[in-house]
Amino acid sequence: MSSTRTWFESVAEAERRARRILPPSVFAAIRAGAEGGVTLSENVAAFSRLALLPTVADLPAERTLATVVMGTPVSFPVLLSPTGVQAVHPEGEVAVARAAKEADTLMGVSAFASSPLEAVAAVTEKFLFQTYWSGSRSLLTSRLQRAREAGARGLIVTLDWCFDFRRDWGSPWIPQRLDTKAIVRYLPELVRRPGYVQRYLAAGGPPDLGVPNMADLRGEVPGFFAAFEEWMRTPPPTWDDLAWLREQWDGPFMIKGVTRVQDARRARDIGATAISVSNHGGNNLDSTPATVRCLPAIVDAVGDDIEVLLDGGVRRGSDVVKALALGARAVMIGRPYLWGLAAGGTLGVTNVLEILRAGVSETLYALGKASLAELNRADVLVPDGFAIGDRQVDG
């Protein structure tokens, strides 16, 4: 299907449309990686260094893409990673939830989301709540209880960020609140993006920078920077802290941000049911290896005991298949669906998911595989020195 005004053929086209629609500062906040963007670029480029080996006969007429992730059946192995303050579209996470429901897959809802958990739960039952180690233990348990009552299918604990805002090309300015002073400062950008302004005017006004899922024990909703300060002021967790947190959540439990074998083993040992091999999309420590390079050694170390997901650099259905052939249960995407959200709201997110779904199906067909379970490492040519071995990751 060729691209039209409301439909696009590739994730790259979604990115181009998002760039045209969003104010430059908003687009930069999504697109940028830490410091020089080395890891951001490597996450994507690493997939191109993996070759696939197609076959030409006895190809499967039908392919099964369904799998189970953290105890929840999904129609294909692509999940929507939690991302905070989705100011690319007025409906934010609610629009994403509609697309996730239509695609029959799981979405992650960030503690720093623009929309409350309950608004997402009203649209889809298949969602995971993501939290940071932030605030007191009593505050953490209250947030977990709220997620449990909302119906979250699992918990994601994100650990892969060292508060690095440095960008070699400059970090976009983010206001404390969208007051008159902030709007005046943004005015030159807004004048150039009338469609973005019209969306918000039609929705009732500029985005609210409050983060409802970080409400305190009295139920008061903090602004983004107040919530961020709480997080930064909280001493980082020990493995004992994470073991305690695991005990507070009686359902599926994921630790996100693993790139070392030793961390994968510790996550398994505290009872985590899943890990996400992730470097925060290149927004953590720059020069961290691409996640797909870290994946094989981690799968070899813990893959029989725990679900291993991959997050970072996925732009095509063939990337998904490569990750699964190397042992991932599923992948998580962030920027691609945010670009789709910016380009077309729910329809744009659906568009991105359908691009990836079609790509997974077509790649399986070319490989002669009728299901995801038939994939194995023999389907991928991994160049010498590509995979980060146990010694390098665990040393």
**Domain of residue 106, CATH code:** 3.20.20.70
Predicted pLDDT of residue 64 = 97
Residue 304 lies inside a defined structural domain of this protein: yes
Q: Where are the alpha helices (DSSP H) in 74-176?
A: 92-103, 117-121, 137-150
Question: Strand 72-74 to strand 78-80: parallel, antiparallel, or no bridges (unpaired)?
Answer: unpaired
pLDDT band at 11 (very low <50, low <70, confident <90, very high): very high
Q: Using only C-alpha atoms, what is the Rg of the chain?
A: 20
Q: What would the pLDDT profile of 306-350 be if each residue is shown by its tens digit?
A: 999 999 999 999 999 999 999 999 999 999 999 999 999 999 999
| Three-state SS at 257 | strand
Q: What would the pLDDT profile of 41-97 be if each residue is shown by its tens digit?
A: 999 999 999 999 999 999 999 999 999 999 999 999 999 999 988 889 999 999 999
Residue 53 lies inside a defined structural domain of this protein: yes
Residue 3 lies inside a defined structural domain of this protein: no
Alpha-carbon dihedral angle through residues 316, 322, 328, 329, given to the nearest 10 degrees:
60
Q: Where in the sequence is the domain holding 339, given as residue range(s)?
A: 11-173+209-394
Question: Strand 51-52 to strand 274-277: parallel, antiparallel, or no bridges (unpaired)?
Answer: unpaired
Is residue 280 flagged as an active site residue?
A: yes
Predicted pLDDT of residue 350 = 98
Structure tokens at 19: 């760039």
**In total, how many domains does the chain have?**
1
How far is the C-alpha of 30 from the C-alpha of 171, rounded, in Å?
11
Residue 20 lies inside a defined structural domain of this protein: yes
pLDDT at residue 390 tops 60: no
In the predicted model, what is the mean pLDDT of the chain? 93
Question: Strand 67-69 to strand 51-52: parallel, antiparallel, or no bridges (unpaired)?
Answer: unpaired
Residue 327 lies inside a defined structural domain of this protein: yes
Q: Which of 143, 266, 280, 322 is catalytic?
A: 280
Predicted pLDDT of residue 224 = 84
